[in-house]
Structure 1
Amino acid sequence: MGEFDLIARYFTRPARRNALGVGDDCALLQPGPGMQLAVSTDLLVEGRHFLSTVDPRRLGHKSLAVNLSDLAACGAEPLAFTLALALPAVDEAWLAGFAAGMFALADAHGCELVGGDTTRGPLAINITVFGEVPSGDALLRSGAQPGDDLWVSGTLGDARLALEALRGTVSLPEAVFAAARRRLEEPQPRVALGRALRGVASAAIDISDGLLGDLGHVLQRSAVGASVDAEAAAALLAARTQMALPPEQVNALVLAGGDDYELAFTAPSRLRGAVEAAARASATPVTRIGRIEAEPGLRVLDARGQPLAQRFPGFDHFA
């Protein structure tokens, strides 16, 4: 099978709301009047971002999900995406599974594939996603203010727990491992919550490299500090209720685990009701875990309000 046969069989679909789909030199997008185009790109490399044993359908899902999560953090509506794919060889069963997982998620969010590239090489997947958001309504990292509440969607730490089990550093009951592995390999982008938070949240970011590491980007861009309630954060680990994990391990998983693709966001305390309404409207649980402060720095506090001595570095590819 040649390159263009591969594209035609597995990745060509009719253009719907975009002016031009796969097959030309450029994709042509038509965002609505008064809208801004939101664009994000992510590269996934075998051995760095995913294991060679991952189910191709789940990998197709995750490859798009991590990009949709960026749109969610911006409050944007998905429009389209491009796919650049390096393959060591043509494996039709693998391609069918990968495409099925990717397109199932794409269809769920009305996001269509409009172009890309394929080449031979070590397995790597690069997706660029395009979304639209009303002008002036985008959620940014730079809007957090002293006194704002700090919120997190969903659960945290399960993906890293699954990774540690796959590495053999921890042993998990079968049911716990299956649930955690799904969180690692099939994260659910919080697109509906991001849209619902427009006009409510003051700042937002998606959690890919660990809660505290990503939260640090918000604090830096907003020129503020924050305190995080370690006990409230620890309760976000779903597996915590099924396993007797040491508090230090729970803290590390939740605060620095990464690969969660949940949203961390801030909002004025007077808008707690609006945050809870956005959570209900998007069917997404949210938890208040801290507060934005004028004093620079990030403080993780125990139940007595004392700083934890434990350090929680976020993931860095080149650290």
Structure 2
Amino acid sequence: MNIPLPLAEPLPRAHARADKRGTHEANKLAKRLRHQVGRAIADFGMIEDGDKVMVCLSGGKDSYAMLDILLQLQQKAPVKFELVAVNLDQKQPDFPAHILPAYLESLGVAYKILEQDTYSVVKRVVPEGKTLCSLCSRLRRGALYAHAEAQGFTKIALGHHRDDLVATFFLNLFFHAKLGSMPPKLLSDDGKHVVIRPLAYAREDDIAAYAVAKQFPIIPCNLCGSQENLQRKQVKRMMDAWEKETPGRIETIARALGDVRPAQLSDPRLFDFLALGARGGEVPDAHAWLAGEPHTSDTDA
């Protein structure tokens, strides 16, 4: 007796269910990122009515996600603002210069590609084997700031996310002996530019998943050569290990950056320890304490 083969109908249904689940998860992720970016913009007053925002686009997942989400929010935002994508072509060898213009033109986004050979400068100035990133970043920042001033941008948007802020905190703590991070919003040293980080609440893992879902044309960031021993990479490995061992730890640290208690630290510039509990008498300085000379009052004579 011939046994009829099962129909192939269940397989398409299974695929349909999988596709539906995938679409549902992608929509949840997009909604979560929009909410986080919108909340960061509101919490820190990042964008105002009439702003002209320069969105710095590197070709990495973070800046792609930032631009994509800002474009979505722009459509329903309670204020009117302009977005212009700006990329700095630093003339790195094998840089695929056609990718960003093609992508931005497909979106119909206003954009500008700046060209400045900072790569040759860095390679000439930095000794062989030394880290290139610090000088490269300063040169890139200078070029972007100059363009922002010339074109009248009121805000400069950078793609740093929550994990970047936490990593910078540990870099400053471990390697520079200070407590500090990247603020979600800052005024440049010359007072001319307001820098904003709309992804300040967003997790890197979420951004990476979003980039895959959106199929952004990622440009690799190692065109100048891989430098595995960078301090930031050391901190990143530490953070990944922590998160694997204790999920949620990085989020807790990120929240702590927004809950600073100066009186529970030891910086006298932030808290007046000299006045704390003082009874009005003379307070000897450090020299007097270190000299070890006894105090003499007028009645001791």
TM, length-normalised to structure 2: 0.26
- Choose between structure 1 and 2: higher strand proportion: 1
Larger relative CO (CA 8 A, sep 6+): 1 or 2? 1
Mark the structure with the bigger radius of gyration: 2
TM-score, normalised with respect to structure 1? 0.25
Looking at secondary structure, tell me which structure has more helix per residue: 2
